[in-house]
Structures are given as structure tokens and as C-alpha cells.
Amino acid sequence: MLNFSANLSLLFTEVELVDRFEAARQQGFSAVEIQFPYGLEAGTLQKALTEAGQKLVLFNVDADDLLQGGEGLACVPEKQTRFRQAIAQTLAYAKVLKPVAINVLPGRCLNQSRLSEYLQTFRENLCFAADAFAPLGIKTVFEAINTHDIPGFIIHSSAQMLAVLDELNRPDLFMQYDIYHMRMMGEEPAGFIGDHAGKIGHIQFADCPGRAQPGTGEIDFEPIFSAIEKSGYRGWVGAEYKPTGTTVDSLDWFLRGEDHADQTA
């Protein structure tokens, strides 16, 4: 059975973030994730989680200017001090919210002549993050993002994620596998997940192209969800898409997927 979580940064945006936990519960979700929770106090978020009976699965380390077109934080050599400050902030939230995993977004390199330097900085920062989160029993994950949406993103394929994991060889470090991003890069998720489930710490999905709910693009999710079940992956599968209408109207996939869904994990 699959354990679905709702990404509250993209879903249930019809209401304020603090009210989305309850909105997700009302639609049958028992777990949620947030891209960047830092706009609210950790205690406020924890209260909302408790009142809605929700588990927080994942959130991201601050990524600085990445979503505004910049290079981000985790791979930029000149920003290593700022990255360590971001880890301290994340730790403070993690101690209160107790997520299953924390995602470190690699970032982008806008000067390709420095790419090797950026990759080395990212590997160093990833180890620093894992050292910080492992004592709390929290997995560190990182993800590949397609270069159509974010040109210059330094990790943009499954092969690159595997290479980082093999080089660093850490039991507390995993890939965050995003079905949307990998399909945008021309990859086939079902086979990869089946082959490498043990190296995946979190899965996210949206349809492709468009990054909306299942049924709006070209992806057939039935074989992918079945492949995840058969793979032995027992983590959460995060709905991280942009609804074409209201969130509630976008949840047909969730109702259809009841044969796959297990909301009690």
C-alpha cells in the first residue's frame, strides 16, 4: 500500500498555510509536507499538525534566491557560511516538527566554467547537512530538478543522484525522487524506482507536462504506483502538483487510487 502525503505549499492554497493541515485531513490525508515552512513559527506549525492529527513528512532547507532565478544556496562556494546558518535554522524547526526527511536543494550554476567547483561545494554541504540531521534520526535527501524549468540546475538526472550517493557512501543520505522532474528529462520512473528503491528516501509526483494533477498530462500513474508498491519502498509519496482548479476538484486521482493508498502509516 502507498502512503500519500499532501504538499501544503502547492495544495489547499485556497486557505492560509496554518489552515491547510485541517483541510488536508478533511480530504483523507494523514501526512503533509511543506517546501519552506519558515514563514511561520515552528510552534505554530506543530500546533496545527497536532490539532489536525497530521504527520509532517518533509520540508526543505532554505534555498535563498533559487526560486527567484538565482543560484540558490547549497552549491555556491561563496555562500557556505550562509548555508550553515540555514542548517541551524532547519535544525531548530526539525527539533520541534520531527520530520521524516529534510531536503537539500542542490541549486544551479550560471557560469558553467565553475560547475566542478559548484558540485564539490554541494557534496561538502550535503555531508554537513547529513551530519546535522542524522543524530535526530532524520534522513537527508536531495533531488534532481529538470533543466527546462530551472536551467543550469546542477543535479538533473537519476544517474547524477546515484553518482553522488555512491561517492559519499552514507547510510543517512538518500535521493528524493520526483516523478515529474525525471519525466521532464525523458526518464522512465517505474523501472528506476524498482531498481533503486533502497536508495530513495522520498518520492514526489505531478503530471507532465504542466506539473498539475494526475490526468492532466501524459503520465499513466497506475503502472508507476504499482511499481512503487512492488519495489519495497515504504516511505511517503508526496502529491506536489499545481491544481488546475481547486485542490478538492483535483483529487480524483486520490479517490481512484484507494486500492494503492494506505493513510494509516
- Cα–chain center distance at 102: 8
Residue 123: which pLDDT band, with cuts at 50, 70 and 90? Answer: very high
What was the pLDDT predicted at 265?
A: 43
Task: Say what percent of the chain tops pLDDT 90.
Answer: 95
pLDDT in tens, 186-220: 999 999 999 999 999 999 999 999 999 999 999 99
CATH number at residue 127: 3.20.20.150
Domain for residue 235, yes or no? Answer: yes
The pLDDT, as a whole number, for residue 255 is 82
pLDDT at 258 over 70: no
Q: pLDDT tens, 18-49? A: 999 999 999 999 999 999 999 999 999 999 99
The number of residues making up the chain comes to: 265
Res 260: pLDDT: 55
Task: Return the ∠ at Cα 119 (arms to 117 and 121), rounded to 5°.
Answer: 70
- Could you list the active site residues? 143, 240
Q: Tell me: the pLDDT tens digits for 71-113? A: 999 999 999 999 999 999 999 999 999 999 999 999 999 999 9
Domain count, the chain: 1
Q: What is the pLDDT of residue 261?
A: 58
- Tens of pLDDT, residue by residue over 5-19, are 999 999 999 999 999
Q: What is the reported pLDDT for 215?
A: 96
Judge whether 185 lies within some domain.
Answer: yes
List the domain range (segments joined by +) for residue 177: 3-259
Instruction: Give the pLDDT confidence of 237-255 residue by residue, as tens digits.
Output: 999 999 999 999 999 999 8
Place 121 in a pLDDT band, splitting at 50, 70 and 90.
very high
Q: What predicted TM-score, i.e. pTM, was given to this entire model?
A: 0.95
CA distance 213 to 16: 21
Residue 50 belongs to some domain of the structure? yes
Residue 179: inside a domain, yes or no?
A: yes
Q: Residue 265 domain-assigned?
A: no
Residue 93 to residues 35, 80, 99, 127, 179, Cα–Cα distance (Å):
13, 20, 9, 19, 27
- Residue 264 domain-assigned (yes or no): no
State the average pLDDT for the chain: 96
| Sole residue written with cell 535521493 | 175
Question: Is residue 70 scored above 90 in pLDDT?
Answer: yes
d(C-alpha 131, C-alpha 138), whole Å: 10
With respect to residue 147, please indicate whether it lies within any of the assigned structural domains.
yes
pLDDT at 129: 98
Sorting pLDDT into bands at 50, 70 and 90, what band is 257?
A: low
Confirm whether 106 is domain-assigned.
Answer: yes
